[in-house]
Amino acid sequence: MRLAGILAFVCLVLSGCKSKDPADAAPDPAAIKAQQDLVAKRDALLKARQELQSKADQIDQQITEAKAAGSDTADLEKQKDAIQKQIETQQTDFSDLSNKLDQIKVSGDKAAQIASREAEMGSRERTLAEREAQLAAREKALAQREVEAAQRWKDSCTIAAPAAPVVITKPDGKYTKKDVTDLVARARAAMNKKGLINSDLGSNSNLESEASKALNDNDVTTAYFAATHLVQAVDQIQINRAFIQAKYNRLAAQVKKADEGTNKQLQDILGDVMQKYNDGNFGAANTRLNQLAGMLK
């Protein structure tokens, strides 16, 4: 009898242990289903938000281009504000879903938690893949814009050869030193008004020195003709897109030869010149180029 009682007790204990393990390991189907549904909704919300952000980035680019072209950006700004409000609303919904998922993690069993982690890992992998694809698309678009900008720069860099100067003559053909000095003064005044430096005159940059030398040699006629050509050369120069491009290229080549310590400062000036150039402010761009030329002396 005692043996039978012991066996019965052992069987009861074993039976109790056997029935307890499956109960502990059994997942809660409702919790798993709830987590999967929430993760799917969150993924869809995240994708929608990324699409909205991509649209916002495109509108930002359009606004930048419109401002550079001097166009009105009011409609674009309204579109951007509307998209931004949608993003903010979705951010609130996203936070609510995340909180619900956290609650299920706390109350759910071990199997549900494992399912949740797997779902999250899958979501993160998809998100990373989408971000990489978006970055690749943006890099491709930026590279294309740089190529197009470089081509536009190259195409517009060709400056037409200036017309032959018209010599200002006197009816009697007699020229005085005062005639020469008046012409030189007129040329200098025009250069100051336009913000020109001597190197902007190119092959005509030595005309003033030629006029001075001819005067010293009492060759007034030669001096007069050199001064006349100087006035004409200055009058023909226009501070426009082509002029800034040519001057920028000329000085940028000199910047490359500067020592490393100075080069950074000079490069910053060139960057400022490009910003003003893109804004269509050629006068300000020319002023900065003159500052750069002074530093390169």
Structure confidence by residue, pLDDT tens digits, 283-292: 999 999 999 8
Q: Report how far residue 156's alpha carbon sits from residue 173's, in angstroms, rounded to the nearest whole number.
A: 42
Q: Which helix (H) or strand (E) holds 106?
A: helix 74-107
Residues 183 and 70 in one domain: no
19 within a domain of the structure (yes/no): no
- Residue 293, amino acid: A
Residues 133 and 218 in one domain: no
130 within a domain of the structure (yes/no): yes
The C-alpha angle 201, 204, 208, rounded to 5 degrees, equals 100
Cβ of 55: how many Cβ atoms within 10 Å? Answer: 15
5 within a domain of the structure (yes/no): no
Domain carrying residue 239: 177-295
The C-alpha angle 280, 265, 237, rounded to 5 degrees, equals 35
Weakest-pLDDT range from 97-111, 204-218, 266-280: 97-111
50 within a domain of the structure (yes/no): yes
Work out the pLDDT band at 56, boundaries 50, 70, 90: confident
Q: Report how far residue 136's alpha carbon sits from residue 64's, in angstroms, rounded to the nearest whole number.
A: 21
Give me 211's structure tokens.
């006029």
Question: Which of 155, 188, 210 is where one domain is finished?
Answer: 155
Judge whether 39 and 123 are in contact, CB under 8 Å: yes
Work out the pLDDT band at 183, boundaries 50, 70, 90: very high
| pLDDT higher at 201 or 111 | 201
235 within a domain of the structure (yes/no): yes
9 within a domain of the structure (yes/no): no
Work out the pLDDT band at 43, boundaries 50, 70, 90: confident
Give me 13's structure tokens.
């204990």
46 within a domain of the structure (yes/no): yes
Mean pLDDT of the chain: 74
Question: Which of 102, 125, 155 is where one domain is finished?
Answer: 155
Weakest-pLDDT range from 128-142, 145-159, 193-207, 249-263: 145-159
Residues 112 and 61 in one domain: yes
Instruction: Report CA 78 to chain centroid distance, whole Å.
Output: 22
Residues 148 and 74 in one domain: yes
User: Average pLDDT for residues 200-214, to the nearest whole number?
Assistant: 92
253 within a domain of the structure (yes/no): yes
Q: Which of 69-73, 158-162, 190-194 has the highest mean pLDDT?
A: 190-194
Weakest-pLDDT range from 64-78, 126-140, 148-162, 225-239: 148-162
Residue 123: φ, ψ to 5°: -65, -45
> SS3 letters for 49-76?
HHHHHHHHHHHHHHHHHHHHCCCCCHHH
Residue 113, Cβ density class (10 Å: 0-12 exposed, 13-18 middle, ≥19 buried):
middle
Q: Report how far residue 23's alpha carbon sits from residue 135's, in angstroms, rounded to the nearest whole number.
A: 48
Q: What letter does residue 165 receive in the DSSP assignment? A: P
> SS3 letters for 124-147?
HHHHHHHHHHHHHHHHHHHHHHHH
Residues 78 and 185 in one domain: no
Residues 32 and 138 in one domain: yes
Weakest-pLDDT range from 29-33, 213-217, 279-283: 29-33
Structural domain count, the chain: 2
Instruction: Report CA 222 to chain centroid distance, whole Å.
Output: 53
Q: What is the pLDDT, as a whole number, of residue 122?
A: 65
Weakest-pLDDT range from 48-62, 106-120, 169-183, 205-219: 106-120
- Residue 216, amino acid: N
Q: What is the pLDDT, as a whole number, of residue 114?
A: 58
Predicted structure pTM score: 0.44
| pLDDT higher at 94 or 13 | 94
| pLDDT higher at 48 or 274 | 274
Answer whether residue 244 shows pLDDT above 70: yes
Residues 109 and 199 in one domain: no
